[in-house]
Amino acid sequence: MKLKKIFREIAIGMTVLFILSNIISYLRKPDLSSEQLPPVTVTLLDGSLYTLKRGKPVLLHFWATWCRVCQIEASNIETLSKEYEVLTVAVNSGENAAVNAYMEKNGLHFRVLNDENGSWAKQFHIRVFPTTFIYDAEGKLRFAEVGYTTTAGLLGRLKLIE
């Protein structure tokens, strides 16, 4: 009987934590001038030219090498990048060599746009790291997440709009 009560309390606590984190994320999300993803063609960290594909969900993730929460969340983004259209933007994280060294040291292979001067972050009104946008197949913003989000949380949101 005592074990059942403990599980119940844990379930209630996790539910409250989930609700509070979503409220905080909603309140901290950037105020975008448009909820439509503009056409994106950029030169990635590896020197390749990349165009974001339409027709499937897109995860646009703003992070920084100096951000502790981003470091914790990086493996979640890595996992999703293997199955979904993911573009990450490393903001104010130094020159390409520094970001490349960070990626190599941490075994990360997702696409990275190095936003050395923060111009992309400014365009998307990013004030908190990490910030993740999830767009549907037509490029309409469906979710904005600020702060740490689990792999399951991001995957669930992507599955909702597939």
CATH number assigned to the domain comprising residue 63? 3.40.30.10
* Cα 132 versus chain centre, distance: 3
Say what the pTM is: 0.82
Strands of 36-157, DSSP E: 41-43, 49-51, 58-63, 85-91, 112-115, 131-135, 141-146
Q: What is the residue-level pLDDT of the chain in tens, covering all 162 positions?
A: 677 777 777 767 666 666 655 555 555 555 565 688 888 999 999 999 999 888 999 999 999 999 999 999 999 999 999 999 999 999 999 999 999 999 999 999 999 999 999 999 999 999 899 999 999 999 999 999 999 999 999 999 999 998
Are 85 and 58 contacting, i.e. CB atoms less than 8 angstroms apart?
Answer: yes
Q: Which residues span the domain enclosing 83?
A: 2-161
Q: Which residue has the tokens 């993911």?
A: 86
Are 85 and 111 contacting, i.e. CB atoms less than 8 angstroms apart?
Answer: no
Pairing of β 112-115 and β 131-135: unpaired
Per the structure, how many domains does the chain have?
1
